[in-house]
């Protein structure tokens, strides 16, 4: 009875859900709108599209995907992750991202990019209809994070000069070398707006932690409330110049967002694609990039939001990819940017109390009303303020903690992450991601994975009883053979409604991506009322001290500590060793004489106790510190440490002690 009542209480995006939760969804939609408005404008400008293009995308996404996708809490719209592809496409077709104003070349490149976006959208639709949403499962997680970090770095590099009022362009690494020049050439008035915006973006979350009520006010909206008056104070609506310390600087509308100059003027900015460019080979490079990166980001974002969903509702990824494809096709036909399921706005949607997918619809309604009725107000937004918001967005994508977290999962993951990042900066997204994938395959081969199992899982299915099945994995369980492996898991477990045991004891390697995905599937089974267990991990050695670290067959390095002490210290030392994390010990009585006895000439053998402990490096350091501080100053004790190889690391890991105690208690 309880389970049924809980199911009935789960909010659903249907007619009843719309009527029941309209107040919560509308409030969340309004708050998300406050975040989305400046970000849509900023992302569009830096992508080389007209500012209103981002608004078109968010509105179309809200009004279409809400009724097609079953993703309840994701917000669809333009995202920072596609900026690099969009501006790259614009530049490849002869535009310069409106660096020198809106020219015929920019318009031609813009229409070419719309055709590319439409072609990519058609592929997305077909991909979703033919159940290709599982594509996101193939790419190694570290390579994806490396790609996103690289995008963040590129956004920072590209938007830094805009925030200072400097016109600049070129490859990311070339622009990075010019940063001192940009600072020297900065327009002080525009730089004041940019720096103020950046300070607000970084300091507002800190203020929100100290004063909780501030969290409800999005930092981008504070930026607009501060910088729009600053722009008016500098009279950016009118062309003029000013002199500061002997230098003359220009101000004018080129530093403001270009928007329609009258009510409902947005409809005059509708632009159609130039499909003739699809006859060019280079167009299809960008079609593939928009399709792969856009679909991948959208799927990953939807999966992340499913995890955060308070009601643990699960998105049909094929249906969601189809919905995003339809939204992208419609957006491209009227001049919009490509869209994805956007993670930042979706997280804000959850935090603001949204219940159903109609929160996304409401955010689109508010965007439509704003751009249709008050475009003249939006025209007063300084471009430097939008640039500062995007610099902050880029910083979050490439946050230093990303590097630390990847390193903690494993040094090899950091190598993949860093390689992807650097190659993307030096070349482009596809080559960078490919480099990360190739490096990961090389690492797998070096770790003993047979070539034949790189792309094909070797699995055997057995029935344990009427309700439980066992899948025995052999050779390897890695990102490149995960898709067919996952299909088998879902077919047996979620489709046939059976409990499942995955045994990986006979694999040579279970990589980080699969470790993380196994944890995700465990949550899916739990939500469906089924059990999912992974056996055999204790026979593999983790490559780092992290739950998601890759596991490899082989011997694990441990420390063996040997202590010789007086017999009456035996019980005390043993209890202290266990308290510090030792999982066991061996004690034997022995006889001998130490250095002091030989030096004094007595050389009489005395009874001693010899205690031997095998432990992890961390535990050994704790024990040695105890011996140095509490034992050696008061007692004649000898101790030595050796490095030894053991078959099973888990037998000496103190983290497993509590699990053993719990198991014994339950028995």
Span 101-133, pLDDT tens digits: 778 899 999 999 999 999 999 999 999 999 887
C-alpha closest to that of 506 among 548, 458, 542, 546: 458
Span 593-622, pLDDT tens digits: 877 777 776 667 788 999 999 998 889 999
Planar angle of CA 445, 448, 454, nearest 5 degrees: 50
Q: DSSP state, 491?
A: I
Q: Tell me what pLDDT residue 81 has.
A: 87
pLDDT confidence bin for 624, thresholds 50/70/90: very high
How, if at all, do strands 541-542 and 556-566 pair? unpaired
- Comparing 89-103, 204-218, 599-613, 653-667, which segment has the lowest mean pLDDT? 653-667
Q: What is the DSSP string of 502-531?
A: EEEEEEEEE-HHHHHHHHHHHHHHHHTT--
Q: Is the confidence at residue 328, as pLDDT, over 50?
A: yes
Beta strands in 511-604 (DSSP E): 532-535, 541-542, 551-552, 556-566, 586-592
State the helix-helix crossing angle for 188-210 and 383-397, rounded to 10 degrees. 50
Beta-bridged to residue 551, according to DSSP, are: 510, 542
Q: Tell me what pLDDT residue 209 has.
A: 84
Cα separation, 399 vs 103, in Å, equals 36
Q: Tell me what pLDDT residue 364 has.
A: 97
Q: Tell me what pLDDT residue 659 has.
A: 47
pTM over 0.85: no
Q: Mean of the per-residue pLDDT values for the chain?
A: 90
Q: Tell me what pLDDT residue 593 has.
A: 82
Read off φ and ψ for residue 466, nearest 5 degrees.
-65, -20
Those residues whose C-beta lies under 8 Å from the C-beta of residue 553, and which sit 6 or more positions away, are: 448, 507, 508, 509, 539, 540, 541
Mean local confidence (pLDDT), 536-557: 88
Q: DSSP state, 133?
A: G
Q: DSSP state, 631?
A: I
| C-beta atoms surrounding 22 within 10 Å | 16
Q: Is the confidence at residue 4, as pLDDT, over 70?
A: no
Q: Tell me what pLDDT residue 256 has.
A: 94
Domains of the chain: 22-394 (no CATH), 404-441 (no CATH), 451-552 (3.30.750.24), 557-655 (3.30.70.120)
C-alpha closest to that of 143 among 397, 396, 341, 406: 406
CB contact at 8 A, 478 and 449:
yes
C-alpha closest to that of 195 among 394, 385, 399: 385
Cα separation, 114 vs 273, in Å, equals 5
Q: Is the confidence at residue 661, as pLDDT, over 50?
A: no
CB contact at 8 A, 392 and 202:
yes
Q: Tell me what pLDDT residue 115 has.
A: 98
Cα separation, 292 vs 408, in Å, equals 28
Q: Tell me what pLDDT residue 380 has.
A: 95
* CA 628 to mean position of chain CA atoms: 44
Cα separation, 271 vs 54, in Å, equals 13
Mean local confidence (pLDDT), 440-451: 94
Q: To the nearest whole percent, how much of the chain has pLDDT over 90?
A: 74
Q: To the nearest whole percent, how much of the chain has pLDDT over 70?
A: 96
Q: Tell me what pLDDT residue 656 has.
A: 64
Span 476-532, pLDDT tens digits: 999 999 999 999 999 999 999 999 999 998 999 999 999 999 998 998 899 889 999
C-alpha closest to that of 151 among 396, 454, 404: 396
CB contact at 8 A, 397 and 78:
no
Q: Tell me what pLDDT residue 653 has.
A: 78
Q: Is the confidence at residue 556, as pLDDT, over 90?
A: no
Q: Tell me what pLDDT residue 433 has.
A: 92
C-alpha closest to that of 637 among 545, 573, 541: 573
Read off φ and ψ for residue 398, nearest 5 degrees.
-110, 35
Q: Tell me what pLDDT residue 3 has.
A: 40
Those residues whose C-beta lies under 8 Å from the C-beta of residue 158, and which sit 6 or more positions away, are: 46, 83, 87, 172, 175
Residues 190-224 as b or e (16 or more Cβ within 10 Å = b): bbbbbebbbebbeebeeeeeeeeeeeeebbbbbbb
Mean local confidence (pLDDT), 330-348: 94
Beta-bridged to residue 542, according to DSSP, are: 551
Q: Tell me what pLDDT residue 246 has.
A: 87
Cα separation, 166 vs 384, in Å, equals 10
How long a stretch of residues is the chain? 667
Q: Is the confidence at residue 650, as pLDDT, over 80?
A: no
Q: Tell me what pLDDT residue 117 has.
A: 97
Mean local confidence (pLDDT), 645-656: 77
Q: Tell me what pLDDT residue 409 has.
A: 94
């Amino acid at each position: 009875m309880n389970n049924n009542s809980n199911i009935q209480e789960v909010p659903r995006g249907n007619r009843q859900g719309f009527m029941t939760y309209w107040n919560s969804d509308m409030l969340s939609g309004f708050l998300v709108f406050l975040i989305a408005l400046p970000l849509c404008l900023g992302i569009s400008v830096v992508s080389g599209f007209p500012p209103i293009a981002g608004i078109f995308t968010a509105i179309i996404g809200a009004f279409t995907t809400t009724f097609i996708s079953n993703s309840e809490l994701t917000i669809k719209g333009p995202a920072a992750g596609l900026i690099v592809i969009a501006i790259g496409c614009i530049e490849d077709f002869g535009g310069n991202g409106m660096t020198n104003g809106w020219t015929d070349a920019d318009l031609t490149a813009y229409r070419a990019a719309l055709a590319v976006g439409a072609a990519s959208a058609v592929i997305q639709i077909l991909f979703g209809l033919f159940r290709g949403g599982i594509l996101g499962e193939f790419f190694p997680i570290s390579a994806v994070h490396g790609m996103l970090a690289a995008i963040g770095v590129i956004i920072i590099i590209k938007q830094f000069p805009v925030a200072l009022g400097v016109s600049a362009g070129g490859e990311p690494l070339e622009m990075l070398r010019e940063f001192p020049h940009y600072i020297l050439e900065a327009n002080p008035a525009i730089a004041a707006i940019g720096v103020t915006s950046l300070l607000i973006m970084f300091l507002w979350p800190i203020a929100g932690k100290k004063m909780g009520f501030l969290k409800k006010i999005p930092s981008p909206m504070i930026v607009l409330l501060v910088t729009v008056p600053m722009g008016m104070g500098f009279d950016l609506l009118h062309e003029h110049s000013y002199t500061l310390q002997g230098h003359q600087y220009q101000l004018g509308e080129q530093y403001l967002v270009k928007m329609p100059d009258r009510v409902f003027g947005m409809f005059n900015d509708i632009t159609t694609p130039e499909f003739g460019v699809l006859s060019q080979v280079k167009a299809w490079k960008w079609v593939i990039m928009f399709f792969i990166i856009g679909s991948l980001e959208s799927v990953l974002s939807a999966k992340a939001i499913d995890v955060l969903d308070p009601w643990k509702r699960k998105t049909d990824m094929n249906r969601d990819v189809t919905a995003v494809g339809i939204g992208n096709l419609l957006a491209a036909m009227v001049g919009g940017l490509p869209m994805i399921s956007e993670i930042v706005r979706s997280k804000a949607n959850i935090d603001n109390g949204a219940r159903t997918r109609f929160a996304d619809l409401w955010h689109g309604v508010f965007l439509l009303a704003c751009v249709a009725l008050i475009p003249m107000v939006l025209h007063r937004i300084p471009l430097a303020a939008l640039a500062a918001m995007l610099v902050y967005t880029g910083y979050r994508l490439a946050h230093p903690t990303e590097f630390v977290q990847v390193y903690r999962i494993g040094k090899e993951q950091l190598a993949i992450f860093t390689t992807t990042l650097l190659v993307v900066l030096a070349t482009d997204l596809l080559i960078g991601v490919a480099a990360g994938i190739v490096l990961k395959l090389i690492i797998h081969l070096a770790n003993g994975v047979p070539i034949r199992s790189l792309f094909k899982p070797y699995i055997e299915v057995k029935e344990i009883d009427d309700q439980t099945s066992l899948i025995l994995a052999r050779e390897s369980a890695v990102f490149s053979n995960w898709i067919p492996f996952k299909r088998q898991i879902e077919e047996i477990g979620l489709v046939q409604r059976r409990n499942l045991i995955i045994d990986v004891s006979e694999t040579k390697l279970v990589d980080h991506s699969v470790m993380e995905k196994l944890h995700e599937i465990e949550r899916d089974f739990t939500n469906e009322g089924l059990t999912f267990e992974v056996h055999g991990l204790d026979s593999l050695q983790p490559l780092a001290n992290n739950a998601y670290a890759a596991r490899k067959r082989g011997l694990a390095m441990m420390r063996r500590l040997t202590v010789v002490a007086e017999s009456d210290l035996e019980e005390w030392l043993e209890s202290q060793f266990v308290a510090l994390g030792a999982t066991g010990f061996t004690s034997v009585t022995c006889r001998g004489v130490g250095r002091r006895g030989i030096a004094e000439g007595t050389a009489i053998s005395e009874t001693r106790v010899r205690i031997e402990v095998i432990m992890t490096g961390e535990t050994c350091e704790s024990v040695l510190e105890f011996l140095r501080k509490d034992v050696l100053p008061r007692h004649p004790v000898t101790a030595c440490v050796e490095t030894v190889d053991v078959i099973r690391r888990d037998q000496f890991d103190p983290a497993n002690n509590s699990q053993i105690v719990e198991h014994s208690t339950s028995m």
